[in-house]
Amino acid sequence: MNSLTEENYLKAIFHLMDAENQVTVNELSKFLNIKMPSVNSMMKKFADKNWVIYETYKPIKVTESGMKESAIVVRKHRLTEMFLVEKMGFGWENVHEIAEQLEHLHSEIFFDKMDELLNYPKIDPHGEPIPDKDGNIINQNFKKLSECKIGDVVILRSVTISTDDFLNYLNQRELSLGKEIEILSIEKFDSSFTISYDSKKESMSKMVCEKLLITKK
């Protein structure tokens, strides 16, 4: 049974791992706000469990077993967020902290039943993919809103961060997943966007646009 600390490391690895399934000790240290000697010590333990290949001063290579373990923690978190929204009526801005606590439960049957009650969802309330029981995850071919051109018509599919402040910012503008958005103009000076959706116009900073993931209509 994995400890809470181990699961927090596994989740961090999931979020930081690059296309070659690698992550550095420095990245983990900054992400988790934990001193590097402690991270090195934990990675040695992970290597003993065959979750990573660890060599001093080299990027950490995540093994297939490590990728599955990390995906399972994320699965529990994202299933919980979806359950809280779909079955308990929470707003998408209110579920992250609760899911942070429930993700450390070690009852597989509990999360399997949650998955069944939700009819096996593929994404969480923020549009991010939910790994299956084997740690497999769907490939989302999304692009950032900031990469679009004037005149593009797109669908908002996901957000890259789920902080209360950011989601409340979107709530105040009634901008949610599934909205059809048209890019009306792009400011040359600061790359801010003027967009249209639901017959309204909004100005969005480049920082916000980089956090909104879309597909072309």
The pLDDT tens digits along the chain (217 residues) read: 889 999 999 999 999 999 899 999 999 999 999 999 999 999 999 999 999 999 988 999 999 999 999 999 999 999 999 999 999 999 999 999 999 999 999 999 999 999 999 999 999 999 999 999 999 999 899 999 999 999 999 999 999 998 999 999 999 999 999 999 999 999 999 999 999 999 999 999 999 999 999 999 8
Cα 137 from Cα 122, distance rounded (Å): 9
Cα 133 from Cα 110, distance rounded (Å): 12
Provide the residue count of the chain: 217
Supply the pLDDT for residue 110: 97
First-last CA distance in the chain = 45
Residues pairing with 196 in the sheet: 182, 201
Supply the pLDDT for residue 84: 98
CB-based contacts of 42, cutoff 8 Å, min separation 6: 5, 6, 9
Work out the angle between the directed axes of helices 36-48 and 4-16 (0-180°, nearest 10): 100
Burial state string for 65-98 with b = 16 or more CB within 10 A and e = fewer than 16: ebbbbbbbbbbbbbbbbbbbbeeeeeebbbbbeb
Structure tokens at 24: 């550095």
* CB atoms near residue 7 (< 10 Å): 20
Read off the amino acid at residue 65: S
Supply the pLDDT for residue 144: 97
- Taking CA atoms, 154 is separated from 18, 71, 98, 148, 216, in Å, by 27, 29, 32, 9, 4
